[in-house]
Amino acid sequence: MTVGSACAQAFTAASPAASNSSLAPNGLYVYPSQVPPVLLAPYFALGDRLRQPGNERITLQGILTTASGPSNVLIVLELGGKLNISWTGGGAQKLVFDGNTSSATAGIPSANDLLETFVDDLAETLMLSGRGSSPRPLGQKFLDPSGGFCDYYDVATYGSAVKASKPFIKRYCFDSKTSLLKSVRYYSNSQLTLTEFGGWATVNQESVLGTVTRKVAGSQVFQFQTQASAVSASIPDSTFKP
């Protein structure tokens, strides 16, 4: 089975209720009873960090490759939509989002693409904002052009780290076998944007990203390759201070 014209029409015509721009309007965690039933399999596939304390922070060390070339970076993600990307080579560049406000060192390429990818496009963000949204299931086991099969869902959103003035549709592809996120696609500034996730690994019984690729209008904006990862509890430090 392929996505086909009927699915393509649904992508532009779907109009589920837009999710609240707040990532966690009722608290940091989301419990199975709060998750739309159609998303329960992807929710459980992530591990237990969304429903109990102790594994809120994920740290990824790796290589970020942009048009300027490869860079060593340290990426810290934390529930609540928090993000810190620090360039560990020369220049000491940093991109931070504390769940409400972002800040970036001058000269960081594709800062908005990085924010959308590592905050708004994550499965955790979808689950935490899902209490105010109505995902529209399009079908299961559609053939994925990149390989394997997808369970597709359309969700309307305003975004959080990068906010839009009106809701737009994001199409989520979850792997039909593992229920882990494979890709998110949507139109941004009239250009088709595709964020691909892969290389998932299990760390402390939590599913952790291995590779992330961002494409806009068919051209690659960046790719991130994880070299080492860790899962830990939330720490009240200055990591996400703008």
Domains of the chain: 4-229 (2.50.20)
Q: What is the pLDDT of residues 11-52, one digit of tens each?
A: 333 433 343 333 444 468 898 988 889 999 999 999 999 999
- Measured in degrees and rounded to the nearest 5, phi and psi for residue 124 equal -60, -40
C-alpha to C-alpha distance for 79 and 231, rounded to whole angstroms:
12
Residue with tokens 């860790």: 230
Residue 14 CA from chain centroid, whole number: 21
Sign of CA dihedral 8, 12, 13, 14: positive
User: Given this model, what pLDDT does residue 27 score?
Assistant: 67
C-alpha to C-alpha distance for 8 and 52, rounded to whole angstroms:
37
User: Given this model, what pLDDT does residue 205 score?
Assistant: 95
DSSP 219-236: EEEEEEEEEEEEEE----
Residue numbers in the chain where pLDDT is lower than 50? 1-26
C-alpha to C-alpha distance for 97 and 119, rounded to whole angstroms:
9
